[in-house]
Structure 1
Amino acid sequence: MRLIRGLTNLKRLSAEADSPLAGGCVATIGNFDGVHLGHKTIIEQVRQKAVELGVPSVVMFFEPQPREFFQGSEAPPRLMPFRQKFEALLAEGIDIVLCIRFDDTFRSFSAMDFIENVLIHGLAVRHLVVGDDFRFGCDRAGDFRLLEQVGQEHDFTVENTRTVTVDGERVSSTRVRKVLNVNGLEEAERLLGHPYRIHGRVVYGRQLGRQLGAPTANILLNRMPALRGVYVVRARLETGEWQDGIANIGLRPTVDGKRPALEVHLFDFAGTLYGQHLSVVFRHGLRDEVKFDSVDELRQQIARDFEHARAWLAANPAQPIN
């Protein structure tokens, strides 16, 4: 799979004599946060049509997401960071990912600017899969009907996305966030098609966990996570080995309270994880994130958390994780 970052690189690629877009493509547009069952169905629509036409399949999304650009810290939390989304799309068999920077310049594009510069001259799109409620361009003036009209003039077709429901309700990123917000890990797994997880690179921290008797692998998060609290987890190391552990995800209010992070303590693990990418699967919620009056009080609570986590693991042996 190929990653194209920005309109400049898209223009450069489309001008190459051996460009993979020389024959056009089949594309879809969205946030694809979580790459849940609904997203996977859309991706399969795109892949099937791309095979039929003999052209690449393309997923286009934006960084930051439009709601993050307009709402800042008030925007909904992300389900997965950029790298994890890219890897998830790779696993679904997408040929090209186009990531466009959403900034003041791009937001000023009219609907026709977007169609001409991105879809026609950039991607040479031959078939587009989007929801019939899709809006785009400055002031959200562009819609599904406009795409169909322009497509007739420029020889591309537009198809509505298929809807996936679970228990009679549409699967969406908003729905996944809602169930995670109340620790509905089992329901989230049904909506995603796999247990909820976060991937990230382990960075050097302030060594506070070690001082508290619980050395942790620290993964910084650029956005507030959909989950907050203390969880029993299972983590996959770069070696492919799985380790049980406990994790705190959120703002660490007793010792920090400023930047969101995922702190993972792996039981019975003595190696070093700095620089590695971990895949952390959330299995069971233990408690909410709490600000303690003292570090000593926090230390005592961590000891209780460890005891509760080990007891839960003993009663719930790990099963193979997909």
Structure 2
Amino acid sequence: MELIRGLHNLRPEHQGCVATIGNFDGVHLGHQVVLRQVKTKAQELNLPSVVVVFEPQPREFFAGSQAPARLTRFRDKVERLAEQGIDRVVCLPFNRRLASLSAQAFIEQVLIRGLGVRYLVVGDDFRFGCDRSGDFNLLKRSGDEHDFDVVNTETYEVGAERVSSTRLRQVLADANFVLASQLLGEPYQISGRVIHGRKLGRQLGVPTANLSLKDKQPALQGVYTVLLTGDDGVVRMGVANIGNRPTVDGVRPALEVHLFDFKGDLYGQRVRVVFCCKLRDEIRFSDVSALRTQIEQDLQTARGYFEEQDMGSGQPVPLAHNALRL
């Protein structure tokens, strides 16, 4: 799959495609239905399939910290789009210049001159352009004028409700990881490279693997049982804290994972962390001693959780056979 960053990197050979536009945050089953729709038409017309995304996502640009939580980091999103068989991802930097484009200018610069789109798949509630002035009807009229087709996206339901990023955020906030897995088609996970932190976990006797969340507000907040896979492909059990770490004056969202009985070194490795069960919310403790006591309780509870799974009682750990691919 080809990743193109910015309109300026589009070349004449990129003209002509079947495309869709959106955030595709999570690349859940609803998105996957749309992607299959795009791929099927692309194969029929013998054209490449293209997904146009934005970074940051538009609501992140306008709302900042008040924007909805990010379900999928950009790299994970691109990887999942590649796994779906998409030929090309065009990532447009969402900045003031793009935000100020009129709807008609967006059509001309992005769809016609940039992509030479032949067939476009979008929702009938899709809005675009400055002040969200463009809509499905404008796209249809432009398609008639410039000889490209515009059709509705197909919807997908689980449990008689439409699968959407908004619904998935709520399911994760409720820590319903079984349903989240059903909406995604695989367990909910976060991947990233293990970086050096402040070594506070080591000082507390619980060394952690730290993953930066790139200042993106995560969809999860709290302490969870997790499964982690690193470069060696081994699945390891542990406990993760995801949030701002208020007791130690954390200022940026971070994911910290403590692995049971692990003595190795994960620095620099790209790991995947699958979330299994929520233990508690993230809270501010009166002092580090109180935090250490709670961590010990968390570790004991987490070990009990995994022991129950091994014995076959309770809900199974929500893993698919290919859930931890690297």
TM-score class normalised by the smaller sequence: over 0.9
Q: Which amino acid aligns with 2:9?
A: N
Choose the corresponding residue for 2:55, options 58, 63, 85: 63
CA distance in 2, matches of 1:269, 1:98: 40
CA distance in 2, matches of 1:146, 1:265: 52
CA distance in 1, matches of 2:210, 2:222: 15
Q: Which amino acid aligns with 2:245?
A: R
Gaps of 5+ in 2: 311-316
Choose the corresponding residue for 2:80, options 88, 92, 98: 88
Q: Which amino acid aligns with 1:281?
A: V
- Residue 142 of structure 1 corresponds to which residue in structure 2? 134
Whether 1:248 aligns to 2:249 is: no
- Residue 26 of structure 2 corresponds to which residue in structure 1? 34
CA distance in 1, matches of 2:322, 2:47: 33
Whether 1:269 aligns to 2:262 is: yes
- Residue 170 of structure 1 corresponds to which residue in structure 2? 162
Aligned length in residues: 314
Whether 1:203 aligns to 2:215 is: no
CA distance in 1, matches of 2:193, 2:294: 27
Give the alignment of 1:1-322 within 5 angstroms.
Answer: 1-10=1-10, 13-14=11-12, 19=13, 21-22=14-15, 24-221=16-213, 222-317=215-310, 320-322=321-323
Gaps of 5+ in 1: none
Q: Which amino acid aligns with 1:296?
A: S
Pairwise CA RMSD = 1.1
Q: Which amino acid aligns with 1:4?
A: I
Could you tell me how far 1:239 is from its partner in structure 2?
A: 2.4
- 4+ runs deviating over 4 angstroms: none
Could you tell me how far 1:238 is from its partner in structure 2?
A: 2.0
Could you tell me how far 1:200 is from its partner in structure 2?
A: 1.0
Could you tell me how far 1:258 is from its partner in structure 2?
A: 1.3
CA distance in 2, matches of 1:225, 1:301: 23
Could you tell me how far 1:261 is from its partner in structure 2?
A: 0.3
Could you tell me how far 1:194 is from its partner in structure 2?
A: 1.1
Could you tell me how far 1:153 is from its partner in structure 2?
A: 1.5
CA distance in 2, matches of 1:141, 1:267: 53
Q: Deviations over 1:88-125 (max 9, x none)?
A: 11111111001101111111111111111110111111
CA distance in 2, matches of 1:89, 1:150: 27
Could you tell me how far 1:321 is from its partner in structure 2?
A: 4.9
SS of the equivalent of 2:150 reads strand
Q: Which amino acid aligns with 1:7?
A: L
Q: Deviations over 1:275-302 (max 9, x none)?
A: 1111100001111111111111111111
> Cα–Cα, structure 1 residues 104 and 151, in superposed 2: closer, same or farther, change >3 Å?
same
CA distance in 2, matches of 1:171, 1:120: 31
Could you tell me how far 1:257 is from its partner in structure 2?
A: 3.1
CA distance in 1, matches of 2:114, 2:233: 39
CA distance in 2, matches of 1:74, 1:162: 29
CA distance in 2, matches of 1:57, 1:41: 14
Could you tell me how far 1:209 is from its partner in structure 2?
A: 0.5
